[in-house]
Amino acid sequence: MKYFIYTIMALSLAFIGISASVLNFQNLTEGESGKALIVILASICVIVLMIILLISRSISKKHS
């Protein structure tokens, strides 16, 4: 399960990298740049959730 979580985190980082290359800093909220911004924010949320999952799993292993 731990390797699956790390794989999801790596894929999220890849999505951030790909979407960052599409960004147009003149108009961040229009067209493809707006979609890329949404993907970047969603990927950051996924990374935060996976970190929370890893921490909660380590805490539950210590208490069992």
Number of independent structural domains in the chain: 1
Domain ranges, residue 49: 2-20+28-59
pTM, whole model, 2 decimals?
0.88
Q: Among residues 57, 45, 63, which one has the least CA distance to residue 4?
A: 57
Q: Tens digits of per-residue pLDDT, 6-53? A: 999 999 999 999 999 999 889 888 889 999 999 999 999 999 999 999
Dump the DSSP string for 3-28: HHHHHHHHHHHHHHHHHHHH--TTST
64 inside domain: no
